Amino acid sequence: IIPTILSVIFCRFSIRRETRYMLLGNALLFDLIYLLFYTLSSAVNAAHVHLPKEACVLLMFLLAVAYCGGLFTAAAIVLDTYIAVMFPLRYIAILPPSRTKKVIVLLWVCAGAFPGIFFLVLSSTHSFVPCALEMCSVPVILILTPNGTDAVKLCFWLSTIVIFLCLALVFCCYAIMYFKTKQSGIWESICSRASVTFLMHNTVLFFYFFPLMVLFVESFLCVNVVVKLKVGIWVSLTVCNVLMILPKILFPFLYGLRYREIAASLKSIV
């Protein structure tokens, strides 16, 4: 469904020129890249193929870029909704298509720079310890990260802080939107467009941030030897193979198919 929605967005000028659809297409593109590379890493591990260290590092970097890009774009979609609700008359002036393209470029730069800095730090300090296991597995690397060198721990905690800052920004936007529109009557019906949109955003963002919270708590417990390593690996496997994939499965259905223009285009294609 993701390539089909992307083809509709990129091939139709009337859809492609709107901010919400450009951000949606960007999020779906990041999700598609993540799913492709994660499937590749899973297939390689299932086939017991030992990747060279450089190939493993490159694969982990691409996965980090794709995941960060999806996370940042999800936050950008919330900010877009916030601007549309809070400044409806100035929305087009604030976010015209030309400026939205610059925002998307900035999202790609941030998605590449954020993990890129950490990978450079780890490379300069020779701290890629998990790759020495000859098993290029995201769950295994995640569970070993808090027990790594000081550079690895620093990158882990800085990543956690950035994620919590994104979560706080999203929460503040939602809280402000709710209190500003509380007296307007758009929340009276549980089936109203505002209520459904609010529930949709919260569902997707919950599944984006909840796995990271679980990994954070699990890593903290493993560091303090509260949870055994075997249990930690099982938790990491569940988080990476189920919880982190869920929002990427729900996103095209909750966002893409909900828009009338995209749904109508898909029906005409079918």
Radius of gyration of the chain from its Cα atoms, rounded to whole angstroms: 20
Question: What span, in angstroms and rounded, lies between the C-alpha atoms of 208 and 124?
Answer: 31
Q: What are phi and psi of 189, to 5 degrees?
A: -95, 135
% the chain with pLDDT above 70: 87
Flag the least confident range among 25-29, 37-41, 57-61, 191-195. Answer: 191-195
pLDDT > 90? residue 164: no
- Count of CB atoms situated within 10 Å of the CB of 211: 20
Q: pLDDT band for position 132 (50/70/90)?
A: very low
Residue 122 has pLDDT above 80, yes or no: no
Give the span between the Cα atoms of 203 and 247, in whole angstroms.
Answer: 8
- Is 210's pLDDT higher than 90? no
Over range 214-243, report the average pLDDT: 75
The reported pLDDT for the residue numbered 224 is: 63
Q: Residue 131 — pLDDT band, cuts 50, 70, 90?
A: very low
Residue type, 50: H
- The whole-angstrom separation of Cα 197 and Cα 178 is 12
Number of domains observed in the structure of the chain: 1
This prediction's pTM: 0.85
Residue 66's pLDDT is 92
How many whole angstroms separate alpha carbon 235 and alpha carbon 53? 25
Structural domain that includes position 131: 1-268
CATH code: domain of residue 164: 1.20.1070.10
How far is 122 from 259, CA to CA, in rounded Å? 43
Name residues whose C-beta falls within 8 Å of residue 198's C-beta, 6 or more positions apart in sequence: 174, 178
Confidence of residue 35 (pLDDT cuts 50, 70, 90): very high
